[in-house]
Structure 1
Amino acid sequence: MKLKTKLYTEQLQEWPESGHHIMAQFNEEKVIVYQSYRPEIGNFAVENQFFGGAFSLNRMTWIKPNFLWMMYRNGWGKKVGQEIVLAVHLKRESFEHYLAEAVYSNYQEDIYKTKENWQEAVKNSSVRLQWDPDHDPYGNKLERRAIQLGIRNKEIASYAKESILEIEDISEFVRAQQVHVKNNHLNKLVIPLEKPFISMDKKVNNKLKIKVEE
């Protein structure tokens, strides 16, 4: 597994407790995002290193850079149709592009001024943005907000192939770590190493409501 990992309890001491934060594993080249699929789609992606086969290019696909938010969403890979958990090594430039193009799924008056402006932006954008409550390993809501991005139309074809550096199947890792959660042994829980991601574009950070320390 290419993912860097660290004990959950150690990371917890370093993470912000509230606010809007893109918690992710990243470097200058890439950002890790997570997706879960049924075996037909997930296995194809791992074997071929791109999304194809039963993967639909006509539906919006959602990517999540935050591991624990993904575990909340897919039930630690136990939900039907989400058994194959993928760590997608996405080009950083592609992730930055999605952030720049993203339009909020719900109306934000301070950004779009009028609902008509927002509706027009939604219509013209191929990337959606949502901030949701982050979650702890048990699925409890936190004060901190976690991001997810929806990709569709012209963006999804490039996401499915050109934007990806590598696709890892981390399903076994996920199942092994869930045992510690079920046994209430969070001191043994190991998860991907994550820290707050800051866009290189100040306008994007402002749009995302990410506070950057000077």
Structure 2
Amino acid sequence: MSELREIRADHDRATIVMYQAYPDAIADVAVEQQKFGPPFSVGRMTWIKPSFLWLMHRSNWGRKSGQERTLAVRIRREGWHEALSLAVLTAFEPRIHGTPEAWRRSFESASVHVQWDPERTLRGAGLPYDSIQVGLGRAVITRYVEAWTVSIEDLTPRVQKIRRLLDEGRAEQAARLCPPERIYPVPADLTQRLGM
């Protein structure tokens, strides 16, 4: 349990941005239609992350196979809150779950999973505070696609430019190109559930 768990995101009064990395086939359809469609599968869990640098760490700046394209998916805040209200942490925490058995039962039946991992610097080093990842299960992915998504932007050219600047040792310029993120106000009824 940590005070160092905060959600940092690019958000406004109505929406919040999630980052995802995909191969061309999925990204092309999503950007063109402004919503996910085949070959994107609503039949398996999809992970969304409000931290741009965490996704960059995970996708190795778009160099990992199947994660070449970085998408910024702007979703409705009410959808985000709905997802968080259904979430169960991926690890047992006594203060929240009581017993390992109670956690296991709720985790196995949960339609949304939440995991906290160390936030990352521009160069991928771990920071002393955590970043949230939210796994949407089959029960809610269709709502994510049909009802929550407002717009989808392809950030791949920007990611490549930031990566090039980093490779050239121009970290300050690279940092200026990263999307802005600030602390997101989590409703009080959700902070306990999320282990915040």
In the other structure, the counterpart of 1:5 is: none
List runs of 5+ in structure 2 lacking aligned partners: none
Give the whole-Å Cα distance in 1 for the aligned partners of 2:8 and 2:62.
20
Query: Do structure 1's residue 36 and structure 2's residue 21 form an aligned pair?
Result: yes
Give the whole-Å Cα distance in 2 for the aligned partners of 1:204 and 1:82.
31
8 Å CA contact retained: 2:72, 2:152: yes
In the other structure, the counterpart of 1:198 is: 185
1:29: Cα distance to partner? 0.6
Amino acid at match of 2:191: N
1:23: Cα distance to partner? 1.1
Query: Do structure 1's residue 138 and structure 2's residue 123 form an aligned pair?
Result: yes
Of the three residues 148, 164, 175, the one matched with 2:160 is: 175
Measured against aligned partners, the alpha-carbon deviations of 1:85-113 in whole angstroms (never above 9, x if no partner) come to 10000111111111111100111111010
Q: How many residues align?
A: 192
Measured against aligned partners, the alpha-carbon deviations of 1:54-101 in whole angstroms (never above 9, x if no partner) come to 111111000000010010011111111011110000111111111111
In the other structure, the counterpart of 2:10 is: 25
Give the whole-Å Cα distance in 2 for the aligned partners of 1:150 and 1:182.
32
Give the whole-Å Cα distance in 1 for the aligned partners of 2:137 and 2:33.
21
Give the whole-Å Cα distance in 1 for the aligned partners of 2:63 and 2:145.
24
Query: Do structure 1's residue 57 and structure 2's residue 42 form an aligned pair?
Result: yes
Give me the identity figure in percent: 33
Amino acid at match of 1:73: R
Query: Do structure 1's residue 187 and structure 2's residue 172 form an aligned pair?
Result: yes
Give the whole-Å Cα distance in 2 for the aligned partners of 1:36 and 1:153.
19
List runs of 5+ in structure 1 lacking aligned partners: 1-17
Q: How does the TM-score come out when normalised to structure 1? A: 0.86
Give the whole-Å Cα distance in 1 for the aligned partners of 2:138 and 2:192.
26
